[in-house]
Structure formats: C-alpha cells, structure tokens
Amino acid sequence: MPRAAILGTGFDVPDRVVSNDDLTAVMDTSDAWIRERTGIEERRWVREGTTGAQMAHRACLAALEEADIPASDVDAIILATLSPDHAFPGTGVFLQRELGLTGIPALDVRAQCTGFVYGLSVADAWIRMGQYRTILLVGVEIQSTGLDVSTAGRDMAVLFGDGAGAVVVGATDDDGRGVLVTRLHSDGRHAETLWCDAASSARHPRVSSEDLASGRHYPSMDGREVFKHAATRMPEAVEEALAASGLEIGDVDLLIPHQANLRISEMVRRRLQLPEERVYNNIQRYGNTTAATIPIALAEAVREGRLQRGDLLCLVAFGSGFTWGSALIRW
C-alpha cells in the first residue's frame, strides 16, 4: 500500500500589511491590547480585485516547483476554506481553472480552522487506497472582506488575516516517510460559539436589510469559550495521534499548531511539555488565516530549514464547529 508524503510546500499572502496601529485608526483598540492578548503584530489583507483562487494558484505553483512536479501530474484538488470566493461553486473549481487541469476532481472542505488537517486525512486515504497519486491540498482564506472593521467588531477584526498555503501530497513506496496517522473530531453542540449567521439558506430571505443593520452577516464568537476548548482539545489531539502510532511527545521534532492566538499555542506547548524551539508560530506576522495557517506555517518552516528528512512533524488544529484534529508525518 503506498503512503502519502508531502513532496512540496508553497504559500502566498497579500502584499498589503495591516499593522495593529493601522487598526487603531478605525476602531477603539491598541497595539498593546492586541499584542498582549493574541501575540499578533500585523496581518495581510487583500486589495480589491484579489481572489482566493488567485492566491491558492500562486501557492500551488510554489508547492509544485518545490516538489519538482509538473501541474499536469496532479490527479485531484482538495481545497479548505470557510471564505469561498462565491456562495457556489466552491473555490476548488476556480483554482482548477487557473491551473488548467480540466476534468480532475476538485473538493472543497468546510471544516474551518481544521480544514487543512481534514483535507490531509482525505488525501492520505485516497492515496493509500490507490485512487489518486498526486494531490494538491490547499488552505485559503479571505477573512478581511467579511469583518466588521469598527469598534463593534473589534474582538474578531483584530484576529484574522488573509492568505493561502498549499502542499503537494504524493504517493511514495518509501515507508520511512509520509503521513503516519490523522485524527479528526467535531462537536456541533458548539456550532454557534464561533460562527457567521447570515447570509444563510435557513433564513427567508437569506439576508435581509434587518440582518445587515444588526450585523448578522459578520462573524461572532464567545472568545473565552473558544480559548478554553482550543487549549484543551489541541493537546488531547496530539496525545491521541501519538498513542495511535506508538510514539511519544519527545519524538516530535516540530509541532505546528493552528495559529489562533499565541497564548493558545503557548498553553498547548506547556501542556505537552515541549521546548519552545519545537513549536513553530508565525501568527505575529499573519494573524489567524484559518484553514491557511498550517500550510503557510509549514511552507515557512521548510524555507527556514526547520524540518529535515526523517523528522517527526505534528500538525494540530482547532476551530469553528467546533472541529479539531491532528496529524503525524514522518518528513
């Protein structure tokens, strides 16, 4: 049975840098508040005209180049996003069109911040069962166009950024590398704890002027509740993946947690008793880019030489749904 290995990584972020000080011009917040509570210093927001499919395309081209694989070898696309370019069809087909890969399947994954880990699990299964050999797995988000950039929306608006990260997942017969295990979870009892109510097919009409007036089209959350669950579920998911593969926390060379909040990452690191140099964070520069955070961080970690062949990489995510999950990969 072939194994699924990550053969190349790539990312793309908008060139428009939005600092914490830039936000103080439009809402009642401060650089000190944002840094202390979240660790975020700046984020990237798209300029008008940039689409998620365009960023995903650039991230995929970088990943294919690193893998040294032509786009024509790709058999399937899996694209994770909670902010599709359009209500339908999914962003995956727009990416497919940009890549010129007519005919191959394009699957959009709706698992929010855990979307990349869910997508990796699907790619791993498809490769192991022999259905596809070369898969582009992408996380892409444009959060900025959906945020309430005023004092009323400051709890959410300061957290999120835009960007795309991609990997080429390919079949390998080398049992010294590849995805060892993935573990996925969700708990819909908390669906409204971090969500966006409108526009929605459950409403008649999907969005009304009253919805717009009351801000139901903006995302909302109970930040403390999300924080509490994230800080508990992420270490649990790491331990679950380690137990399933007979490994221990000391075997992990690099942990890339979903970049929701530097304080959450720090709590996860302490609970797992991992030294600082074994955890990769870049939320300081990008904020929370939802499904894109893990592949952007992975691509940066690779470019910084933080992963060597044979290293044990652990990915862990938590997000809206709630959804959460983990993956262990022998690099």
Q: Which distant-in-sequence residues (6+ apart) come within 8 Å of 268 by Cβ?
A: 231, 234, 235, 238, 255, 257, 279, 316
> Is the backbone of residue 148 left (phi > 0), alpha (psi -120 to 50) or beta?
beta
Nearest to 86 by CA among 199, 211, 215, 246: 199
- In angstroms, give the least distance from the CB of 269 to ligand COA: 16
- In angstroms, give the least distance from the CB of 191 to ligand COA: 14
- In angstroms, give the least distance from the CB of 263 to ligand COA: 7
| Cα 79 versus chain centre, distance | 10
113 is catalytic: yes
258 is catalytic: yes
Q: Which distant-in-sequence residues (6+ apart) come within 8 Å of 212 by Cβ?
A: none
76 pairs with which residues across the strands? 135
Nearer to ligand COA, 40 or 99 (CB): 40
- In angstroms, give the least distance from the CB of 99 to ligand COA: 29
- In angstroms, give the least distance from the CB of 295 to ligand COA: 15
Nearer to ligand COA, 54 or 290 (CB): 290
Q: Which listed residue (20, 261, 281, 288) is catalytic? A: 288
Contact residues for ligand COA, defined by CB under 6 A: 29, 33, 37-38, 113, 154-155, 158, 194, 221, 223-224, 226-227, 260-261, 288, 319
Place of tokens 């993935």: 182
Nearer to ligand COA, 134 or 265 (CB): 265
Nearer to ligand COA, 9 or 288 (CB): 288
CA 85/CA 50 separation, integer angstroms: 10
Residue nearest to ligand COA (CB): 223
Q: Which listed residue (20, 57, 113, 261) is catalytic? A: 113
Nearer to ligand COA, 134 or 293 (CB): 293
161-188 burial string, b = 16+ CB within 10 Å, else e? bbbbbbbbbbbbeeeebbbbbbbbbbee
Strands 17-19 and 76-80, sheet pairing: unpaired
Tell me which residues are annotated as active site: 113, 258, 288
